[in-house]
Amino acid sequence: MAPGNEKLNQKQLVQISAAARLIRQGGIIAFPTETVYGLGADATNTAAVQKVYDIKQRPTDHPLIVHIGHIAQLNYWAREIPGSARLLARHFWPGPLTLILKRSPHIPDCVTGGRDTVGIRLPAHPVALKLLDIIGPDKAIAAPSANLYGKLSPTTAAHVRTTLGNKIDLILDGGACSVGLESTIIGFDDDAVFLLRPGGVPVSAIESVLNMPVISHKNKIPAIPVPGALPSHYAPTTPLQLFHLSELVQTAKKLAAQNLHLAVITWSGIEPPQFNTPHIQHICMSQDPVLYGQHLYAVLHQYDQAGYDYILMETPSALPAWLAITDRLQRASHTHL
Ligand code: TXA
Ligand code: MG
C-alpha cells in the first residue's frame, strides 16, 4: 500500500485535524515523519516560522526544510527545477530525500535564511501526509527536527515531549520513526548533483536512478553552502566517543576501574568478557545498517537519560551503506575523553 493510504483511526484523525487548525492559526506542532519527528509551522507565516527558530534555539541562518503533501506541488514552491531533481522526486517521494532547489516567491525569506534556494521534501508517513492534505495545496509545513539545536533528534513522541513538550501547542504521536535517521539532502549545480547530507536514501540508490555519480560535498566547488553541517551536532549530553573494538575494550576496562559508569554500544557481534561488569551496560546493535539506523537515536536517548559518565561506541563500518550513521556519530562524538 502506498504511504499515506494506511488506515488512520478516528482518534488520530481528530488529532490531525486539530493540528491542521493550529498550523493554519500560526501555532507550532510536532509531527511524525518516517525519518525523525519534525517541529512544524505554516511555511508561509513568517511569525510562526520565527517561533520555530526560537523554540529550537536555532540560528536563523540555518534554513528549514519545507514539507509538501504531493509531488504536483513542487512547481508551486520551487522554480527552474532540474530534470535530475524531478527524476529523483518521482523515484524517491514520498521518502527520506530532500531536494535543494531555487525557491519560488511563495517561500518567505525566513524559511531559507534569505538564500535563493529551499529544501523540499515529501515525507512518507501517513500522519504527516494526512496533515499536509488537510492544510491544503497553498500551505506547506516548514520543519526542522523537533529537538533543541545541536542535540539528538527525536524518533518517538516521548523524545519530543521530554525536551519541547511545554513549548509547543500539540504533539502528534505516530509511533517510532521507521527510518530513524534524517533525510538525504541533495543539491544541484549546472549538471552536477551534490550530496549535502547523507541520510535515509543511500547514495548508491540515487546514483543508480540518475546513472551518474553524486559528488560528496567535501569535494565540491564552494557554490552550494551547507548551513547546519557543523562538526558538532546530533549530540547527547553525555560525552560520547568512538573506538575500534580492541581500543574500546581497553578504554572501557580503564574507565570502569576508575569507578566510572559506562554505556557501551557495539555492532560487530563480538562480546568481550571485559564488558561483563556492574560498571558497564553493554548493548550490541544490528549489523544491518538499516536496522542500526532505525534504533540509533532511541538507544542514545535512552542512555543519555540514564546518567552514565560516558557513552563508548564501536566505530561504525566503513561500507557506503553506513555513511549516514558514520556522519551522525562523528558529529555526536565531538567531546573527547
Ligand atoms: O529528515 C529530515 O530531513 C527531518 C524531517 C523532520 O523532515 N528534518 C531535518 O531538518 O532534519 P533539520 O532542520 O534538522 O535539518 C535540515 C538541514 C539543515 O542542515 C539545513 O541547514 C539544511 O537542511 N538546509 C535546509 N534548507 C537548505 C538550503 N536551502 N540550502 C542548504 N541547506 C539547507
Ligand atoms: Mg536537525
In this predicted model, what pLDDT tens digit does every residue of 166-221 receive, in sequence order? 999 999 999 999 999 999 999 999 889 999 999 999 999 999 999 999 998 765 54
Nearest ligand to the CA of 199 is: 1
* pLDDT of the residue at 166: 94
Rounded to the nearest whole angstrom, what is the distance from the C-alpha of residue 233 to the centroid of ligand 2? Answer: 8
Q: Which of 185, 234, 294, 331 to mutate to test the pocket of ligand 1 (most atoms within 8 A of CB)?
A: 185
What is the average pLDDT across 78-101? 98
Q: Which ligand is nearest to the CA of 155?
A: 1
Quote the pLDDT of residue 229.
Answer: 61
Question: Which ligand 1 atom sits closest to the C-alpha of 182?
Answer: 1
pLDDT in tens, 224-252: 555 556 667 788 999 999 999 999 999 99
Cell of 247: 581500543
From 37, 39, 53, 65, mutation site for ligand 1 pocket: most ligand atoms within 8 A of C-beta: 65
Residue nearest to atom 10 of ligand 1 (CA): 144
Measure 147 CA to ligand 2 centroid, in angstroms.
Answer: 7
Atom of ligand 1 nearest to the CA of 119: 26
**pLDDT at position 222:** 46
Residue 146 Cα to ligand 2 midpoint, Å, equals 7
How far does the centroid of ligand 2 lie from the alpha carbon of residue 103, in Å? 21
% of the chain at pLDDT higher than 70: 93
Instruction: Quote the cell numbers at residue 9.
Output: 483511526
**Mean of the per-residue pLDDT values of the chain:** 93
pLDDT confidence of residue 99: 98
Residues 54 and 168: their CA atoms lie apart, in Å, by 11
Pairing outcome for strands 215-216 and 262-266 = unpaired
Q: State the distance between the two ends of the chain, measured CA to CA, in whole angstroms.
A: 48
Minimum mean pLDDT range among 4-13, 126-135, 280-289, 307-316: 4-13
Q: Whose CA is nearest to atom 19 of ligand 1?
A: 228
Contacts of 228 (CB under 8 A, 6+ apart): 62, 63
Residue percentage of the chain with pLDDT more than 90 = 87
Q: What is the mean pLDDT of residues 7-24?
A: 96
Angle at 288 between CA 285 and CA 291, to 5 degrees: 70
Could you tell me the distance, in angstroms and rounded to a whole number, from the CA of residue 144 to the centre of ligand 2?
6
Per-residue pLDDT at 50: 98
Measured between alpha carbons, how far is 99 from 299 in angstroms, rounded to an integer? 29
Q: Whose CA is nearest to atom 17 of ligand 1?
A: 228
Ligand 2 centroid distance, CA of 38 (Å): 9
* Closest ligand 1 atom to 115 CA: 29
Which residues, judged by CB distance below 6 Å to any ligand atom, belong to the binding site of ligand 1? 33, 35-36, 38, 62-65, 96, 98, 100, 112, 115, 117-119, 121, 123, 143-145, 182-183, 185, 196, 226-229
Read off the pLDDT of residues 284-322 as tens digits, 9 standing for 90 and up: 999 999 999 999 999 999 999 999 999 999 999 999 999
Query: Ligand 2 center to residue 65 CA distance, Å?
Result: 10
Instruction: List the domains of the chain with CATH numbers.
Output: 10-219 (3.90.870.10), 240-336 (3.40.50.11030)
Closest CA to 195 of 205, 185, 206, 204: 185
Distance 242 CA to ligand 2 centre (A): 21
How deeply is 287 buried, as exposed, middle or buried, from its count of CB atoms within 10 A (0-12, 13-18, 19+)? exposed
